[in-house]
Structure formats: C-alpha cells, structure tokens
Amino acid sequence: MTRSTTLFPIGALTFSPGVDRLVREGRLDPMPFLRRHIRGDWGDVDDILWQANNAAHKAGERLESLFVVTRDISLSVFTLADRSATHVALALEA
C-alpha cells in the first residue's frame, strides 16, 4: 500500500487472536478490508457513523470501520487517533 492510495497512515498493524487464527486457517484475508478502511470506505455502517468517521478523519480522531465478510464473520478495523496503530479484530472481539 503506497501513501498515495491511502487517506492516513496506519501505524503498526495488529490482528486480534481471532483474526490471526482465521488467517492461519486460510479462512480469512483481512487485507482487502484494511485497504478499504484506509481509503475512507468505512464499510457496513449507517450514514450517521459514516459521516462521523469522515469528521473524525478531518479532526484527527479515532477511525472505525465494520465489514460483514460472511454471515458468521464481521471485522472491526480501527485506527488510533494519533495514527500510531491500526487494529483488525473480529467484531465480537472488539
């Protein structure tokens, strides 16, 4: 991912234990969802949360996306306000 294709730096990238397990089992590739997040696609959220994330991006606050991957798997992707880290977790772990 080049800086020119992202809206903000992601800092350190971490995966929750559940995401790590699914990746190791070959059941999940979180990277397409991470790319969407850092391009300002906040995923499967309502308009209010979408607009709140847009405002948070401009204000330098925490950013959070939600992506429904399958009927049983949803991902929460969040970037800290200081942009020092981005965390990818199963929604039930977040």
pLDDT confidence of residue 4: 56
pLDDT confidence of residue 2: 47
Query: What ranges do the domains of the chain cover?
Result: 12-90
* Per-residue pLDDT tens digits for 63-82: 999 999 999 999 999 999 99
For residues 19 and 45, give the distance between their C-alpha atoms in angstroms, rounded to a whole number: 20
Residue with tokens 């929604």: 91
Q: Which residues contact 85 (CB under 8 A, 6 or more apart)?
A: 10, 11, 12, 13, 14, 79
State the pTM of this model. 0.90
pLDDT confidence of residue 94: 73
Q: Which residues of the chain have pLDDT under 70?
A: 1-4
Contact 10, 79 (CB under 8 A): yes
* DSSP state, residue 11: -
